Structure 1
Amino acid sequence: MRIAVYGAGQMGAAHVRHFSVLPDTTIAGVADADERRARSAAAAVGATPCPDLDSLLALRPDAVVIVVPNIHHAAAAIAALERGVHVFCEKPMATTVQDARAVLRAVERTRRIYQLGFNRRFAPVYTGLREILAGGVGVFSGTMKMNDGDMRTPVWFSDPKISGGFMYDTAIHLLDLVRWLLGPVQEVRCLTRSSCYPDQDDAVMLLRFHSGALVAFTTCGHATWTGPLERLELFGDHAALVTEGFERLTYTPARDQPAVTRDFAAFPVPERLGYAQETRVFTESVARNQAGGPTAEDAFRAVEFVDACYRSAAGDGAPVRLVPYQLDS
């Protein structure tokens, strides 16, 4: 399978490494507006450096990995899909619901595989958490946090005209994750402020799920890099599930039972963070021509969720009900 990588920054170079080690997979080309970065990433795996997406797609890859600034994700994905190329795209799918819907329609029209880079769905700490929940543990309430130490890398991170906004770049990971764990969200209330950067780099949310569960979520972009940078605490009938970063999962099944902790710190980083698993799932999906990872609809729902958060924030925390947009409208 021939893979092309569009974007050779930090994450682009990481995806070059992750895909290049898969069996029966080669990196055909790497494109970046920075010619030096494209050459460096391509040389590491014997690929062809390219200056732009058109020249990259001219190499006739089976699939393209999109790792450019957020504002360009939708147009790049549609261009690749229309040329019959399968797409793995880093989050977000798009920075507006309208653009996300356009990508979704392109996926439906071309019948190509589209997978979004929600790596947490593959990380052992979170797959382990989901397995426990699937065993019948009911969740009544919870808290979660996800922080960035700063918003200086990449250079466009704090510019909402490029990133779409802080929640499209960082918080979207846990917003997708909590939907995956607890089911559809019924209502969101969100407050934001600009604290250290031009963007709204602090957000506090209250989420109400269709199940009745209530979850509070805080996220900021100026927390320093002291871990854990993300943490979930979910509470049931005298039961608790707690994650600490990607490293630990602790489950207390009942009031009079001891806590059980699973530690993933010794796992190799690509496996611990879910990157190795998501790349394998994508290539297997392409080989079978059957979606297996976070799909285009999952990606669309995540954009819809972030959009609802920003609409609530614009109304000073007014409740916004998530009445899903009709995908075929």
Structure 2
Amino acid sequence: MKVNIIGAGNIADYHARSIKALGYELGIIADFNEKAARQLADNYGCRWTTNTDELLAEKADLVTVAVPNAFHFDVAMAAVKAGHAVLCEKPMTRSAQQSRQLVELVEQNGQPFFVGYMKRVHPTVQKFRDYVARIGTMRSGLVRVYHPMPSSSWSIIRNQLAQSPNAALDGVFVNSGSHMLDLLLYLAGPVKKVLAARMQYQEGCYPKVDQMTHALLEMENGATVTVECGWLPLFGVGKRENGWDELIELRGETGLSTLHTTLWERPQYESPVAELWDESIKTKESFNAGMVDNFQEEYRLIEKALSGEAVALATAQEAFAVDQLIDDIFAAARQTGE
């Protein structure tokens, strides 16, 4: 499988590393920043260009879109129009309106399109789906997303916003929460209504970069789900006491299922853990599939999908549902005065 990458930043490095580790061909990397494109290409022994059109004119099995969030829409649209199968980093776009346009184009062109919600591909998450099926009628849920962030980071963000008020920056809800919203929809089904939402901001960061987001959701299946996201300077909390406090808990009439996710950039050290309390047999089960690199697993599944196999990758339509939910929660927060 030959893969070309648009973007040469930090996330592109994870993609390039996985492509090479799996023995796939990394053809060319494109980025308007010549230094970044050259350095990443040199690191992985491939060609580079500052011209995205040059990359899109080249034949490949897959084009990976790994640019900043603000450019996902334009770059992904161009890749689809050029006839490529695409893997777009999450979130698919920065608005439901843009996502709807992209979904329509993908459906018109008929080429495979995947979105980088790679947490769902881990074998432990697939086992957790089985656990969720055993909890009976779902009544409630909790999505928790707390990531450690030094207090000093906020002065950097404030300065950036002061210098560039129109900078396309995102806060905790989009950057950290979107992965878990994808898992919620994947595991519990669609949201019927956002009942309430509130966001909190550091001074000088409103309305661009939220520090905390809370939402209350009514699911189509009748359950009520609480969502809480935050960037806080807490480095000893969470299941592994490393500051990463992230889980999904789904509670039903006959059981309780809990998924503890892990620091995404450390797959060689940590694995998600799935747990189930089954009331019918009065037993607790736990499952850990071991160390699996989500980025590599994502590309393995893409290769299968391009061969026609059904896989657990996020589609454009599923990613649109996440972007719509994000928009709806932002709208609900504005109604309550954030």
Q: How high is the TM-score relative to the length of structure 2?
A: 0.83
Q: Distance in 2 between matches of 1:219 and 1:254?
A: 30
Letter of the structure 1 residue corresponding to residue 5 of structure 2 = V
Q: Give the aligned partner of residue 139 of structure 1.
A: 138
Q: Distance in 2 between matches of 1:292 and 1:253?
A: 25
Q: What root-mean-square deviation, in Å, do the aligned CA atoms of Structure 1 and Structure 2 show?
A: 2.7
Q: Give the aligned partner of residue 171 of structure 1.
A: 177
Q: Post-superposition shift, 1:253?
A: 0.6
**Unaligned runs of at least 5 residues, structure 2:** 236-241, 263-271
Q: Distance in 1 between matches of 2:322 and 2:300?
A: 22
Distance 1:156 1:19, change over 3 A: farther
Kindly provide the CA deviation profile for residues 131-160 of structure 1, in whole angstroms up to 9, marking residues without a partner as x.
Answer: 12234633211222112323859x889868
- C-alpha contact 1:63 1:85 (8 A) present in aligned 2: yes
Q: Give the aligned partner of residue 232 of structure 2.
A: 222
Q: Give the aligned partner of residue 7 of structure 2.
A: 7
In structure 1, the residue corresponding to 2:227 is in which secondary structure?
Answer: strand
- C-alpha contact 1:140 1:213 (8 A) present in aligned 2: yes
In structure 2, the residue corresponding to 1:64 is in which secondary structure?
Answer: strand
Does 2:229 align with 1:205? no
Q: Give the aligned partner of residue 263 of structure 1.
A: 288
Letter of the structure 2 residue corresponding to residue 66 of structure 1 = V
1:318-329 equivalent positions in 2, closer than 5 A: none
Q: Post-superposition shift, 1:203?
A: 0.5
**Unaligned runs of at least 5 residues, structure 1:** 319-329
Letter of the structure 1 residue corresponding to residue 104 of structure 2 = R
Q: How many positions carry a matched residue from both structures?
A: 311
Q: Give the aligned partner of residue 256 of structure 2.
A: 240
In structure 2, the residue corresponding to 1:128 is in which secondary structure?
Answer: helix
Q: Post-superposition shift, 1:167?
A: 2.2
Kindly provide the CA deviation profile for residues 187-218 of structure 1, in whole angstroms up to 9, marking residues without a partner as x.
Answer: 11211110377112210111111111111110
Kindly provide the CA deviation profile for residues 197-240 of structure 1, in whole angstroms up to 9, marking residues without a partner as x.
Answer: 71122101111111111111100123444333311222222522
Q: Post-superposition shift, 1:177?
A: 0.9
Q: Post-superposition shift, 1:169?
A: 2.0
- C-alpha contact 1:71 1:164 (8 A) present in aligned 2: no
Does 2:108 align with 1:109? yes
Q: Distance in 1 between matches of 2:16 and 2:49?
A: 14
The percentage of counterpart residues that share the same residue type is: 24
- C-alpha contact 1:285 1:292 (8 A) present in aligned 2: no
1:152-163 equivalent positions in 2, closer than 5 A: 161-163=167-169
Q: Distance in 2 between matches of 1:77 and 1:42?
A: 21
Distance 1:31 1:229, change over 3 A: farther
Distance 1:131 1:34, change over 3 A: same
Q: Post-superposition shift, 1:291?
A: 7.9
Q: Give the aligned partner of residue 22 of structure 1.
A: 22
Distance 1:288 1:260, change over 3 A: closer
Out of 184-193 and 31-40, give the one that drifted further: 31-40
In structure 2, the residue corresponding to 1:219 is in which secondary structure?
Answer: strand
- C-alpha contact 1:122 1:278 (8 A) present in aligned 2: yes
Q: Post-superposition shift, 1:262?
A: 2.0
Distance 1:293 1:248, change over 3 A: closer
Q: How high is the TM-score relative to the length of structure 1?
A: 0.85
In structure 2, the residue corresponding to 1:104 is in which secondary structure?
Answer: helix
Distance 1:180 1:196, change over 3 A: farther
- C-alpha contact 2:103 2:320 (8 A) present in aligned 1: yes
Q: Post-superposition shift, 1:35?
A: 2.4
Q: Post-superposition shift, 1:161?
A: 4.3
Q: Distance in 1 between matches of 2:199 and 2:212?
A: 5
Q: Distance in 2 between matches of 1:112 and 1:300?
A: 17
Q: Give the aligned partner of residue 231 of structure 1.
A: 247
- C-alpha contact 1:77 1:87 (8 A) present in aligned 2: yes
Distance 1:317 1:275, change over 3 A: farther
Letter of the structure 2 residue corresponding to residue 170 of structure 1 = S
